[in-house]
Structure 1
Amino acid sequence: MTIDLDAVRARLSAAGLGARPAEVAGVLADLGHVVSDGALLATVDALRRESTGAGPLDELLRLPGITDVLVNGPHEVWIDRGRGLERSAAAFTDDASVRRLAVRLAALVGRRLDDSSPFVDARLPDGTRVHAVLACVAGQTCLSLRVPARTALTLADWEAGGGLTAQGRAVLTGLVRQRRAVLVTGGTGSGKTTLLASLLGVVDAGERLVIVEDSRELCPDHPHAVRLEARSANAEGAGRVGLTDLVRNALRMRPDRIVVGEVRGAELADLLAALNTGHEGGLGTVHANAPASVPARLEALGALGGLGRHALHAQVAAALDAVVHVRRAGDGRRFVSTIGVVRAGSDGLVRVESALTWDDAGVARAGPAAADLTVLAGA
């Protein structure tokens, strides 16, 4: 006979009992179940996972290499272990059980999730980023969990995993050690943040990193890193700390390098100003489909910070040196596909010109800016 956890939970709640073995055994007996050691332990474990863990997702979150767990309603759970999305056998009893988990995870970090506030985007104490949307908006409760890397990958790890060639590793190492300002670009889930953390591991141990993030994801292998995280407003609409505030404060913290985990808004103006006033070697990421589309993307972000088109391009030309683009191969593997050089044209507008590109098989091709990249990397 299958044990109905909802019925067990309801009996425990009505009697004011906890999920201790003796109390659960009594409830199982009252419900007509044969109370074997195996059934009792499995029931207690399931109840405790629902009350303190991530329920049916607990085992998935512990899988080696896991980066994302996506729940599309009670019967559809997907995972990503670095090779693209895979359907999981995990499932919930019903949408109410997914909603209970979402509400509990939101409450864990002091956030509200109900029909009047059906979205939440927060970081759990262990660093996992959780986004939830309730059925009143999505038709069924959906959860998206982004799992932080348990260990920081090095550039050597990228090379060993096929995400980077020996040539690419040497160029990236040179760019960082020559204190060039670099943007890592790519689409959602392409590995931008992971690669950025790897680049920070190349920075000299004597340099002080001040890292600004909307949600803490970077965990670089570096002995002197200060990490600042944005904060949402509370229920009264007060207490918000945005990326612009953090970038401005980072400048007063004696940074050797300023790092912005993801440039996504008005903070771009302050970051460019910093990179143009002696703060060399800055790094960050930005969403872009291709290196050539980076200037247009920066124009849109610069407008949020009050920068006109020509002012933005002038700032970018003086501040940024190179763009590193990452994407997924056909087999789901993340890899560095392009390194481009930032150049200003005779019209004053910035372009990102290809210097090195790699196809899915790792075959390299030199672009028109290859000579400039060699100079930037100190080769």
Structure 2
Amino acid sequence: MTQEPDHSQDPEEQGLTEDTLVLDFLDQAGVTERLNRPGTQDVAINRPFEIWVDGPDGWVREDAPWLTYSLCWRLANALCALNYRVLAPHSPIHTVKLPGGERGQIVMAPACEEGTLSMTFRKPSLLRFTHKDYVNSGRYDRAQAIASPVLTLKPWQCDMKDAHAAGDFDPFMEMAVAHLQNIIVFGGPGSGKTTYGKTLIDLFPAHRRMVTIQEMLEDTLPFHPNHVHLHYGHVVGPKALVASALRMKPDHLFLAELTGDEVWHYMEILNTGTKGTVTTAHANDSEAGYARVCGLVKQSEVGKGLDYAYIERLVRTSFDVVVYMEKQDILEVHYEPEYKLALLNGQRQRAK
């Protein structure tokens, strides 16, 4: 049952220290009680009047009728002050540390939706195990002893290949989403890639936590209630939002369009545990699309010092399914898992 905090006293009226003030606001918001629950990993506030708790049963939404925007603002502002940060429209993203040692990520408008204030709190694990604990608890039971990489496909990849070869794209795309494949849609202006991308995102399970990065709010994620929409513009660029999103515990990160040097950081996220995405980029065909993404990476500070062949290999191994569209129609769907395996093992030719 949702527990409502005690609001009988306003901490600001008591003249409390910053540390105590933050603790009281955390208690008023209902964050403290949820962080203290056994099994809690993360607590997230996406918008007023609701709290999400990531615990033994995954993400669970709880109604929070006391959690007004005003209370969210006071909590976020107090946390930033405690960490010597200034939370304001010109400085809307901050990483903070709570008095209890938990890490928090705070985002306010214009970097997120107006009328919302995103806060994500991660509870550090205090557990420590011996190696014998891992052995005796069965953590090794599913481990495979691999001496060298073997270029073989998993059964589900073979199923995807069969559906792809048959042009049976309904189950193909459903399998791509189910197996956390990274999908990129190329096309020119007005090709329909944004609308098609939204259709694919709707295939993801409704319980997943989603973070989007968009210039304008085009995809509202109506079927995924645990979401945060980040917005880039003249105050905050997409590169900063990609970095912030990594601290917001997303199951999936959706960057609406690849446009600049944020591409490098985005691909880093895709290759470090946040798999399963849909994104788009302007291009005249699929091969030109690869070249465009490589060029965007090359524009970044990191990319300037990287060999183009390395960048191309990274781009081609970061995306599993490539789609090309013109005039609302899907003209090409690329899926080459053997080639990706070959590239990951340093080979430049398709595996036999």
TM range (shorter): 0.3 to 0.5
Q: Quick one: higher RCO (CA 8 Å, sep 6+), 1 or 2?
A: 2
TM-score (norm 2): 0.46
